[in-house]
């Protein structure tokens, strides 16, 4: 979806290999979602989770495009501290309004800090840094590698072997990501 927005509204041109890569990575993600959408013993409605992921990806498109626009005139630290600070404040207010106790056990608090530092500051922060220099479409394809690497960690740490269609999907996703990034050598330009 991001490549369509960048091509249509931002007038960026992408090489055909990048288009094919985005399409392949997207189709691989859809296949991965379908391959685990049947009922399971752990999750009563995995299709609902997949639909929520699609909605989240739409929000991500707007987030990364807004980030790209703001980052053209703002330093990374100013951007990160402002966005993440207001996000933390909003989360705290929502928790208080919903009656969630702020007094949590130490492991929960440490997990929250680990998520804030690892996933938010290092993960999203590095994307927010890079979006000033690299196309949002190229960066967004990297997000699709997350379930692949999570699965590899599941294999290495827990010995969980994915199903055939999941493996096939992940190969398609990684091939699509490779094609997208290799295709950028042809250059993405603005009119």
Q: What is the pLDDT of residues 29-88, one digit of tens each?
A: 889 888 766 555 566 777 787 788 888 888 888 888 899 889 999 999 999 889 989 998
Tell me, yes or no, if the pTM score tops 0.85: no
Query: What pLDDT is attached to residue 101?
Result: 87
Query: What pLDDT is attached to residue 10?
Result: 81
45-52: long-range pairs with CB below 8 Å, 24+: none
Q: What is the mean pLDDT of residues 118-131?
A: 89
Burial class (CB in 10 A: 0-12, 13-18, 19+), 58: exposed
Angstrom distance (rounded) from CA 91 to CA 115: 14
Angstrom distance (rounded) from CA 85 to CA 61: 21
Q: What is the pLDDT of residues 175-185, one digit of tens each?
A: 999 999 998 87
Angstrom distance (rounded) from CA 179 to CA 44: 36
Angstrom distance (rounded) from CA 68 to CA 128: 8
Q: What is the pLDDT of residues 138-147, one digit of tens each?
A: 888 888 898 8
């Amino acid at each position: 979806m991001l490549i369509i927005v960048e091509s249509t509204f931002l007038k960026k041109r992408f090489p055909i290999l990048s288009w094919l890569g985005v399409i392949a990575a997207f189709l691989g993600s859809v296949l991965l979602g379908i391959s685990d959408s049947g009922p399971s013993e752990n999750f009563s409605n995995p299709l609902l989770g997949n639909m929520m992921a699609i909605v989240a990806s739409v929000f991500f498109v707007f987030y990364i495009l807004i980030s790209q626009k703001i980052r053209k005139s703002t330093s990374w630290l100013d951007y990160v501290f402002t966005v993440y600070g207001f996000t933390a404040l909003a989360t705290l207010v929502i928790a208080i309004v919903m009656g969630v106790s702020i007094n949590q056990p130490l492991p929960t608090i440490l997990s929250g800090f680990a998520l804030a530092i690892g996933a938010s500051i290092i993960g999203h922060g590095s994307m927010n840094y890079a979006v000033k220099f690299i196309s949002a479409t190229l960066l967004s394809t990297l997000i699709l590698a997350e379930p692949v690497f999570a699965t590899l960690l599941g294999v290495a740490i827990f010995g969980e072997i994915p199903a055939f269609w999941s493996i096939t999907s992940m190969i398609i996703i990684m091939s699509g990501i490779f094609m997208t990034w290799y295709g950028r050598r042809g250059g993405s330009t603005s009119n």
